[in-house]
Amino acid sequence: MSFQLTKEQKMIQKMAREFSRKVLADTAAERDKTHEYPAENLKHMGELGLLGMMVSEKYGGEGMGTLEYSLALSEVAYSCASTAVIMSVHNSICNGSIEKFGTEEQKEEFLKPMAEGKFIGAFALSEPEAGSDPQGMTCTAEKDGDHYVINGTKRFITTGKNSGVTILIARTSPEGTSGISAFLITHDMEGFEVGRIEDKMGQCASDTTDLLFDNCRVPASRMLGKEGDGFYIAMSGLDAGRIGIASLSLGIANAAFDESVKYSKQRKQFGSSITDNQGIRWMIADMAMEIEAAKLLILNAANTKDRGENCSVQASMAKCYASDMAQNVTGQAIQLHGGYGYTKEYPVERFYRDARITTIYEGTNQIQRIVIANNILKNGKKGKKRK
């Protein structure tokens, strides 16, 4: 299987790389300290088409595939993981869900300005007592005439404070997954407010918040899809979202790897470069192999989605492996830097902190392994004893 990039794909990758290295890299470390939301950078990304990459041209997007998007997202994450996670949720889940399930009116109202980067999307699924088990959600949406009245709390919502529209997943009836629906929420709705903003370990320039609903009245016209479609909408969005997080993980790992190679060539111990040490050379070789393996899993998942096939397992594999890989590679980068790697003088400590969350959000890696195993055991295509 060969993933030879086309001329157009290479151009997209180059454009994203140049923007990332020339614009995002300059302020990434400072934003990590100040937790400043990258509003101006996102505006620039909208102008470049990076915030509507997979949206149809009919709605102001670029009409590209998941593969092109994955390449660009990895380049953004190379310099700033905070900006990359905003880009991932906005493109993968929000744009994709609205285009796939929204009415024409909803697409005109929300999708077009989102594709142009005029405002950013958020996705609200997790709750204080419902993370890995979305069926346990208690946020409710009760029908009242031509409105739904929403009550409850959502937690750990990326861009919860700065979003222009949020896809809210809430329970419209008690009947399991069929009782879950999706709504398009805006900040001007009475009874809706942003709660606490988390003080996080990494990806600090991306706001992560609680969303609070107290008898929030939402017009029925703001329902995304039909009543009862919410669980399917959420799971469909997460398939794309996991490819996004895998791509983000790859970008962080590539940055940590490049810093490690540069440092190891410059650093001298015992009278020679540490690259003369076989142990160091093996560390670099292992990092390179893990990165390459993750890249191929990501390209396969993106390619599967672009062919219109079910990509749930491929997305879970890519997300699980790539995020585990990023955590390992950034940890090895710190080890290779020695004591310097543990200081803020070098960027690898930021890469390590940014990588840590990738094994948790968009479904923990324990959940990804369940998804993968369930598919294998249900389909019986793997794991059989050979005669």
Domains of the chain, by residue range, sit at 7-119, 122-230, 232-379
Q: Which of the following is catalytic: 62, 68, 99, 362?
A: 362
SS3 75: helix
pLDDT of residue 3: 74
CA atoms of 382 and 379, how far apart (whole Å):
8
Is the pLDDT reported for residue 386 higher than 60? Answer: no
pLDDT tens for residues 144-153? 999 999 999 9
CA atoms of 106 and 186, how far apart (whole Å):
13
CA atoms of 167 and 186, how far apart (whole Å):
9
In the structure encoding, which two tokens stand for residue 189, read together? 């709705």
SS3 154: strand
Q: What is the mean pLDDT of residues 280-306?
A: 97
Q: Tell me which of 2.40.110.10, 3.50.50.60, 3.30.1390.10, 3.30.70.141 is the CATH number of domain 122-230.
A: 2.40.110.10
Which numeric CATH code is attached to 7-119? 1.10.540.10
CA atoms of 157 and 386, how far apart (whole Å):
46
Q: How far is CA 294 from CA 53, 84, 155, 311, in A?
A: 22, 18, 29, 16
Q: How far is CA 266 from CA 117, 253, 276, 283, 337, in A?
A: 41, 20, 12, 16, 11
pLDDT tens for residues 307-352? 999 999 999 999 999 999 999 999 999 999 999 999 999 999 999 9
> Cα-flanking dihedrals φ and ψ of residue 43, to 5°?
-60, -45
pLDDT of residue 170: 97
pLDDT of residue 17: 98
Classify 232-379 by CATH class.
mainly alpha
Strand partners, 346: none
Q: Is 362 among the residues known to form the active site?
A: yes
CA atoms of 94 and 362, how far apart (whole Å):
13
Q: What is the mean pLDDT of residues 295-311?
A: 96
Burial class (CB in 10 A: 0-12, 13-18, 19+), 284: middle
pLDDT of residue 276: 93
pLDDT tens for residues 148-203? 999 999 999 999 999 999 999 999 999 889 999 999 999 999 999 999 999 999 99
Is the pLDDT reported for residue 292 higher than 90? Answer: yes
Check: CB of residue 52 under 8 Å from CB of residue 222. Answer: no
> Model-level pTM?
0.94
Is the pLDDT reported for residue 2 higher than 70? Answer: no
Check: CB of residue 185 under 8 Å from CB of residue 192. Answer: yes
